[in-house]
Structure 1
Amino acid sequence: MSETYDVEVVREFDAPLKRVWAAWTEPGDLRQWWGPTGFTCPRAEADVRPGGRILVTMRAPMEWGGFEQHSTWNITEVEPLHRIRYVFNFADADGNRITPAEAGIPADGVPSDGAHEVVLTALGDGRTMLHMTERGYGNQEARDMSQSGLEQCLDKMAALVEGTAR
């Protein structure tokens, strides 16, 4: 097996565990934070159970052409309020799996089936730690691109769950 590059992000939120869990599992919350800075999420559907999936649509700002990119998070494991494991796939508008190239992803090294894990831990005093891992990137450039986007998404999530969203 060839070497892979993984995204690993740890973030603390000044919000209770249940609030951060809801941000990952409730469509209304997902629409508020999914997508990097300047992007919106006009669609989010969530069936949070093993064998279920989350389907999201990310829309680019007009200066980037306003394109839409769809993805599914095919859930393999759920421990409510603690862990979600899923396989990230790019999708067409109907939610059918497509390859990164078909989705218009220019970077080599983006996996067709990205293994993701989100672990939430209550820290006390109404704070929550998130530890997220995305596995399987084929090169550092693809990993770094994904990590940058994830960090921007989590900035938006922090504003949502900490009550500072504008």
Structure 2
Amino acid sequence: MTHGSELRVRLRRALDGSCPAVFRELTDPREVARWWGPDGFTIPSVESDLRPGGAYRIAMRPPEGELFYLVGEFLEVEPPERLVYTFRWKDPDPEDRETVVTLSLHDIDAGRSELVLDQGDFASERRRALHEEGWSQGLGKLGELFASQRD
């Protein structure tokens, strides 16, 4: 998962939804609240000003713990192919630093698309691994949402 001295998360997922449908799931606050975050987490609120320079804030609650926030700014918004934003925890862990997330969508066929995620650079391997686990679980839930719509 690392490339040279970079500490990055790079994931690819095939999803049973068109690029426009997946882009909507990635950006509509009501939809994001349905699949975002690691297993067991709830998302009480998502606020989003979806435009370059616009901010977002996601409230996250772990299964046992206090509410915390993820905040950032949209850098690129190019529906339905690309979304780029900064990612930082409000009141970050000492090992955390702001990273940049790039989400790219590509058609596989008429009803399926591939999501490519890149995030980094992280301050430590431990934080990179934590984000990889969270993204893997969240994208797994997103994939399940699309699969259930197909049934």
TM-score of the pair, normalised by structure 1: 0.81
1:99 equivalent among 92, 96, 103: 92
In structure 2, C-alpha distance between the alignment counterparts of 1:56 and 1:35, rounded to whole Å: 10
- Counterpart of 1:139, as a letter, is S
CA contact (8 A) 1:23 1:161 kept: no
SS in 1 for 2:137: helix
The reply to whether residue 68 of structure 1 matches residue 95 of structure 2 is: no
The reply to whether residue 150 of structure 1 matches residue 143 of structure 2 is: no
Task: Specify the alignment match of 1:4 in structure 2.
Answer: 6
Task: Specify the alignment match of 1:36 in structure 2.
Answer: 38
1:46 equivalent among 48, 69, 74: 48
The reply to whether residue 163 of structure 1 matches residue 148 of structure 2 is: yes
Cα deviation digits, residues 108-160 of structure 1 (max 9, x gap): 3x3x2111100011111300100000111122222111101110010111122
SS in 1 for 2:148: coil
Q: Point out where structure 2 has 5 or more consecutive residues left out of the alignment.
A: none
Cα deviation digits, residues 59-96 of structure 1 (max 9, x gap): 111xx23x2120113111111101111110112xxxxx
- Counterpart of 2:46, as a letter, is A
In structure 1, C-alpha distance between the alignment counterparts of 2:82 and 2:69, rounded to whole Å: 23
Cα deviation digits, residues 5-25 of structure 1 (max 9, x gap): 100000000111121111111
Once the two structures are TM-superposed, the CA of residue 52 in structure 1 deviates from its matched residue by 0.7
SS in 2 for 1:153: helix
Cα deviation digits, residues 21-63 of structure 1 (max 9, x gap): 11111011011011100111110112111001221111111xx
In structure 1, C-alpha distance between the alignment counterparts of 2:128 and 2:92, rounded to whole Å: 17
In structure 1, C-alpha distance between the alignment counterparts of 2:142 and 2:50, rounded to whole Å: 18
Q: CA RMSD in A?
A: 1.6
Using the aligned pairs only, state the percent identity: 28
